[in-house]
Structure 1
């Protein structure tokens, strides 16, 4: 019997809690060793993930960067940033009351140190990886740099195989080690109480954001947003099951083509593209989770300036996020470290939080693609002769072929 990622995460979380509460000292030391090793390995791969996916995305898209492509990516980025800002406001206003009532600091219990300590430094910093990705991606899209362009795309494919074959499978083990340490230190139950309420807040905010997206799309497009939203419901529930925007893309494309007022060529272009660059639901979740984890692990809310920087950079990184379950969270780990100062324990909590709700975040991403399509259709649906939709669609189709 093959288990999905969510059951594995829940199993790892449960085993970790049991070990932390009832395990002997040597077992706790094993989990602390696992925490240290897996945390270092994941941190090592983060700059490579950021470089690979951002550079490849720019290389694939910039070579055909016509008005339609630029407009769609720009709207997707703006949509993601606004969603994160809304999530941040809600988190700043509501999360402290959760923590005040349910989380009380306890005197930390000393636990055994890891059996071995192995430092695996990343080959570059996070911001360096992002800047290098932008430079290489743009350079590979200029002129006839076919070798460089093919190289960054192949490197992205290699990193994606590493994510699918190694990083995602070991995350449940990493989560088990993190929660074993929390339970052994006596920090578990207050943390879990806050997380439960935070997950409810995330789900509510995702629904509110979909209402805002479709209301704005209806006003801008002068069309009934309920028609588009009803058409996207099958894609929403498919995404909830698959936890992958890329895998759900054929369903969202099929449903968008059934909407009478959406130009089918616009749907053919926007839906595959947004499956890869529009991740507002995931980004909002990451923002709320980051503020919550920062409060629990550092004792205070992050400064407003730091969160603004986090959101603006997160929007860029999410455009290149890998289309596998948890890819958004993995791509964001770097700025969680560099901007918000998260350590291994905080990152483990972020991964656990994000992946437990990943199905809802992915469903919000996909459903929101319909609202983006309505806006793009308003400006480009009746102006096909001035845009090269077919050529640009080929770029997205090639992207889907690579990622499949």
Structure 2
């Protein structure tokens, strides 16, 4: 029987803690070697992930250009940025109270041995150049000026999708094992579990709050009951929880989106698949809270407001191309966690663990929020009588 990703992550986490508590120094040298090796490999692929996701996402916009596309993409981006801002404000107010001075910034009671051997894999380019290059190539392709490059970019994204699904995702539980072995060996694990447990409660609470805000705003604009709309979208929420993939949930979200009162079927056909691949408010909210928490416990201080502002702005752009790939959101974000917030391998490993553990809920928040965006798009671009004419019922 195939074991799912979440159980494998939990097994890796628990085994890492047990090994870290009882392991002799020679075994810790081996686990530190594994941590360094996998950390380098993951960082090597980060520029490829950022470039392929962003370039392909922009290049594909040419296939359905128009005012409705611009409106939907802009709405999705604004929604994500506001969700991140809410998460950041809540984190600055609450996370310091949760951490209460327990950080990993200073060495623990036991220092870890050096890796047996260190092999560095230099990325083909730095993070920000990869992002800028992706935007340039994507825009050129979307304007119809680079058809060959457009095809290459889309094929590269398909290759990176395979790399993520077949290599990176399967090795993440091992990376988590190595990370938590080191944390446990340094005597930090009990504090980490308490902090992350409370942080995850905050994440879930804000995800549910954000869905309520999205549907309340959509209701104010359209006059449709938010409770009725959310009830319609619940099957998509629970399907997304099971698949952990917005893209895999499209058939259900599309079906439910068409059932929202006064929804034009053509609008649902356009918005629901599009937003499944560009709208990541739930994931962005999670990443913002996790980034602020991990920064505090690993670097010993909260990120500067200016840095977290830049992080949120860039995060919204990056997630536009990573929403449909399981685990793609956090993998695409590792680069800016490194370049903007200064995360080390331990910080990146903690981000992977925290995000993956709650990914099922973040995906559900993403896909359910698509219904609220569809309501707003339908208000301005939909045929209010389209559903009645097509089906004979409201």
- Give the shorter-chain TM-score range: over 0.9
Distance 1:146 1:103, change over 3 A: closer
SS at match of 2:100: helix
Distance 1:234 1:63, change over 3 A: closer
Q: What number of residue pairs does the alignment pair up? A: 385
Aligned counterpart, 1:138: 139
Which one is further off, 59-68 or 186-195?
A: 59-68
Aligned counterpart, 1:118: 119
Aligned counterpart, 2:367: 366
SS at match of 1:171: helix
Q: Note the alpha carbon deviations across 1:122-164, whole angstroms, 9 max, x for none.
A: 1111110111001001111223632221110001001110111
Q: Note the alpha carbon deviations across 1:67-92, whole angstroms, 9 max, x for none.
A: 01110010000000000000000000
Aligned counterpart, 2:51: 51
Tell me how far apart the structure 2 counterparts of residues 375 and 183 of structure 1 sit (CA, whole Å): 48
Matching of residues 254-293 of structure 1 within 5 Å? 254-293=255-294
Distance 1:106 1:59, change over 3 A: closer
Superposed displacement of residue 259, structure 1: 2.1
Give structure 1 stretches of 5+ with no counterpart: 386-404
Aligned counterpart, 1:39: 39
Matching of residues 108-187 of structure 1 within 5 Å? 108-143=109-144, 145-187=146-188
Which one is further off, 312-321 or 115-124?
A: 115-124
Tell me how far apart the structure 2 counterparts of residues 29 and 113 of structure 1 sit (CA, whole Å): 6
Superposed displacement of residue 106, structure 1: 6.9
Superposed displacement of residue 53, structure 1: 0.8
SS at match of 1:134: helix
Q: Note the alpha carbon deviations across 1:187-239, whole angstroms, 9 max, x for none.
A: 11111110000000000000111111100111112222222111100000011
Q: Note the alpha carbon deviations across 1:276-297, whole angstroms, 9 max, x for none.
A: 1000000000000000000000
- For the 8 Å contact 1:103–1:193, the answer to whether it is kept is no
Superposed displacement of residue 306, structure 1: 0.3
SS at match of 2:65: coil
Aligned counterpart, 2:391: none
SS at match of 1:127: helix
Aligned counterpart, 1:343: 344
The alignment yields a C-alpha RMSD, in angstroms, of: 1.6
- For the 8 Å contact 1:240–1:362, the answer to whether it is kept is yes
TM normalised by structure 1 equals 0.93
Tell me how far apart the structure 2 counterparts of residues 106 and 166 of structure 1 sit (CA, whole Å): 32
Tell me how far apart the structure 2 counterparts of residues 123 and 108 of structure 1 sit (CA, whole Å): 38
Tell me how far apart the structure 1 counterparts of residues 370 and 175 of structure 2 sit (CA, whole Å): 32
Q: Note the alpha carbon deviations across 1:13-72, whole angstroms, 9 max, x for none.
A: 011111100112121111100110000010010000000011011111135321011100
- For the 8 Å contact 2:319–2:329, the answer to whether it is kept is yes
Tell me how far apart the structure 2 counterparts of residues 133 and 106 of structure 1 sit (CA, whole Å): 39
Which one is further off, 68-77 or 100-109?
A: 100-109
Distance 1:177 1:361, change over 3 A: same
Tell me how far apart the structure 2 counterparts of residues 288 and 113 of structure 1 sit (CA, whole Å): 31
Distance 1:101 1:305, change over 3 A: closer
Distance 1:37 1:14, change over 3 A: same
Tell me how far apart the structure 2 counterparts of residues 279 and 219 of structure 1 sit (CA, whole Å): 22
Which one is further off, 102-111 or 61-70?
A: 102-111
- For the 8 Å contact 2:52–2:157, the answer to whether it is kept is yes
Q: Note the alpha carbon deviations across 1:325-371, whole angstroms, 9 max, x for none.
A: 21100010000000000000000000000000000000000110010
Which one is further off, 334-343 or 104-113?
A: 104-113
Which one is further off, 184-193 or 98-107?
A: 98-107
SS at match of 1:357: helix
Superposed displacement of residue 121, structure 1: 1.5
TM normalised by structure 2 equals 0.95
SS at match of 2:112: coil
Aligned counterpart, 1:14: 14
Tell me how far apart the structure 1 counterparts of residues 286 and 352 of structure 2 sit (CA, whole Å): 11
Q: Note the alpha carbon deviations across 1:247-274, whole angstroms, 9 max, x for none.
A: 0111000011122311000000000000
Tell me how far apart the structure 1 counterparts of residues 220 and 339 of structure 2 sit (CA, whole Å): 39
Aligned counterpart, 1:399: none
Tell me how far apart the structure 2 counterparts of residues 43 and 102 of structure 1 sit (CA, whole Å): 27
Distance 1:75 1:148, change over 3 A: same
Tell me how far apart the structure 1 counterparts of residues 166 and 323 of structure 2 sit (CA, whole Å): 14
Matching of residues 102-113 of structure 1 within 5 Å? 107-113=108-114
Tell me how far apart the structure 2 counterparts of residues 341 and 52 of structure 1 sit (CA, whole Å): 23
Aligned counterpart, 1:401: none
